[in-house]
């Protein structure tokens, strides 16, 4: 990882919002991520945030209203992009829910898409960058996300037992092997072997999870159009966790809320407090 460049810096709530670019060995391209560095001295606990379809490293930092509470709690926030960009793969920019901006936080096995390795980027390369360049306590990390990023937060944690202290998600794609978004993405990135798809499905992973006990907080809006379109399927995750005493899921259906960042803004403080408790020691 040769290049690591600060692109911008703005003071906020006593800390700093900073954007960085680096050359990714895992993805074979330049990647950007945003971070909030709280005013409290290090080493700090870190919360990784994974955004949803079409998003970039900017969405959460700019729209979630999380910075004031993160500053109060002393949480360092790290917000990566949602896919590699500019790889020159035919078709990478043709669809909003596949290719650019839609990496699905997996490691693709289909030959054409093998540079789409967001899972390895999020769980290996990015944490190493954070440990190298920021005053963090590597033993105190948690993960959260929205929609496709909620899927990613669950998959990254459940496939790496002990790496994260807690998991939370807003409207996660909970059972992608059974929803249109997931079937499209998994067919493209992973091919037709549906047995292999289960390795990237939060509900399938939750059912067989054998790692250290971990708590999961999920908020889902009752008026989320994607919920009604059967893209999210939180009931599948609830059923899977019910059979596994190593996972403690709190699934909250929030009446009247949709899939937007207005929903996230309303409940983000509670998610940050949830993670701060898990990261407190």
Report the Cα–Cα distance between both ends of the chain, in Å, rounded: 31
Handedness of CA 236, 242, 244, 246 (dihedral sign): positive
Catalytic positions are: 147, 224, 259
Q: Decide if 202 contacts 237 (C-beta within 8 A).
A: yes
Each residue of 156-182: b (16+ CB within 10 Å) or e? bbbbbeebbbbbbbbbbbbbbbbbebb
C-alpha dihedral over 91, 103, 24, 3, to 10 degrees? Answer: 90
* C-alpha triplet 258, 259, 260: angle, nearest 5°: 100
CA distance 225 to 230: 9
DSSP 3-state of 81: coil
Each residue of 220-238: b (16+ CB within 10 Å) or e? bbeebebbeeebbbbebbe
């Amino acid at each position: 990882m040769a290049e690591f460049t600060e692109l911008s810096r703005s003071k906020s709530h006593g800390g700093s919002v900073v954007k960085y670019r680096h050359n990714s060995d895992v993805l074979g391209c330049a990647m950007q991520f945003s971070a909030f560095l709280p005013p409290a001295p290090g080493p700090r606990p870190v919360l990784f945030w994974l955004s949803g379809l079409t998003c970039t490293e900017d969405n959460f930092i700019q729209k979630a209203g999380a910075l004031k509470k993160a500053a109060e709690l002393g949480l360092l926030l790290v917000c990566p992009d949602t896919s590699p960009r500019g790889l020159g793969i035919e078709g990478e920019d043709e669809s909003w829910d596949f290719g650019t901006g839609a990496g699905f936080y997996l490691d693709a096995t289909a030959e054409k898409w093998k540079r789409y390795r967001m899972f390895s980027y999020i769980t290996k390369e990015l944490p190493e960058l954070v440990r190298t360049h920021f005053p963090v306590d590597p033993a105190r990390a948690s993960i959260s996300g929205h929609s496709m990023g909620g899927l990613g937060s669950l998959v990254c944690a459940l496939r790496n037992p002990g790496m994260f202290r807690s998991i939370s998600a807003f409207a996660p794609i909970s059972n992608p092997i059974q929803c249109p978004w997931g079937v499209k993405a998994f067919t493209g990135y992973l091919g037709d072997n549906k047995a292999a798809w289960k390795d990237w499905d939060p509900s399938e992973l939750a059912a067989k999870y054998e790692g250290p006990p971990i708590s999961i907080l999920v908020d889902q809006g009752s008026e989320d159009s994607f919920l009604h379109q059967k893209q999210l399927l939180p009931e599948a995750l609830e059923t899977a966790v019910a059979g596994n005493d190593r996972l403690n899921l709190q699934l909250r259906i929030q009446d009247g809320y949709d899939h937007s960042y207005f929903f996230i803004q309303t409940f983000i403080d509670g998610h940050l407090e949830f993670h701060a408790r898990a990261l407190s020691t």
